[in-house]
Amino acid sequence: MIDVQPFDRLGRFQNDWLNARHHFSFGHYRDAKRNGVGRLLVWNDDEIAPGTGFDPHPHKEMEIITYVREGAITHRDSLGNEGRTEAGDVQVMHAGTGIVHAEYNREPTPTRIFQIWILPDRAGVTPGWGSRVFPKSTGASLAPLADGRPGADGSALPLNADAAVLAGTLAAGQSTTHRLGSGRTAYLVAATGTITVNGVAAGTRDGVTVTGEDLVTITANDAAEIVLVDVRAA
C-alpha cells in the first residue's frame, strides 16, 4: 500500500527564525493518525534563518539523523563534539543515556534540513555523534547514509536501530528500486522534484508511506532528490 500525505497537510510551526513542517505528531502538533511509521517517530522539515538555531537542549534514548538539504548546520554537544555538516551530507547523534546539544545556522542564507528521529533497538547505549560527507547517488540505487540493519557494510554512519536512511538523485524519467523485504516499511520524501512510487504520484516534499510492498520503484517526473527511511514495520 502507498499512502501520500501532501506537503500542505503537514503540521506547521513558525516563529521569527524557524519555519517547520511536521510529517508526524511533534511539539504542539498532534494528529492521532500520524504518530510515526514503525520505529520512525519524527520527520521534521525545518528552515532555519541565518545566524539562528536551536540553543542547547537535552535528548535521551533516540537516534537523531539530520540530512542537510540546503546550507549547512553547525553542531555542538556536551561530549565536546563540534562540526559543520553541508548540503547533501548527514550527521547522526546517538542520544542514548543522555546528551545536550545545540544546532545553529552560521551561514549567510537559510539552512534547510530534514531531521529524523528513530527509536533505538535497545536503551542505555553510550551517547555519541558523527557526520560524513557522502557523494550523491545517481539513478542506479539509493545510497545508505546511516545504517543499522543486519549486514550493514560499514560504509554509512552506524545506527543503534534496525533501520537505514538512504538518499539519491534521479534525472527526469529515471527510476530506481529499493527492496524492503518482509515485515518492513518505508517512508520517503522527494526533497526536490516530483515522483511516482509504485505508480502513485507524489509532489515535492510530500510524505509517502510504503507498507506491504516488497519492492519500491521510484520514478522521477523531473529531476528529483530522494530521502528514504527503511525500518521494521513494528
Rounded average pLDDT over 94-99:
98
How many domains does the structure of the chain reveal? 1
- CATH code of residue 12: 2.60.120.10
pLDDT at 37 over 80: yes
pLDDT at 174: 94
State the residue for C-alpha cell 545536550.
Answer: 100
- Between CA 163 and CA 182 the distance in angstroms is 14
Residue 233's pLDDT band (cuts 50, 70, 90): confident
Q: Are 184 and 233 in contact (CB under 8 A)?
A: yes
pLDDT tens digits, residue range 44-59?
A: 999 999 999 999 999 9
End-to-end Cα, the chain, rounded Å? 16
pLDDT tens digits, residue range 115-169?
A: 999 999 999 999 999 999 887 655 567 999 999 999 898 889 999 999 999 999 9
Q: Are 91 and 159 in contact (CB under 8 A)?
A: no
Handedness of CA 158, 134, 203, 15 (dihedral sign): positive
Q: pTM for the complete prediction?
A: 0.96
What domain range is 114 assigned to? 2-232
* Burial grade of 70 (CB within 10 A; 0-12, 13-18, 19 or more): middle
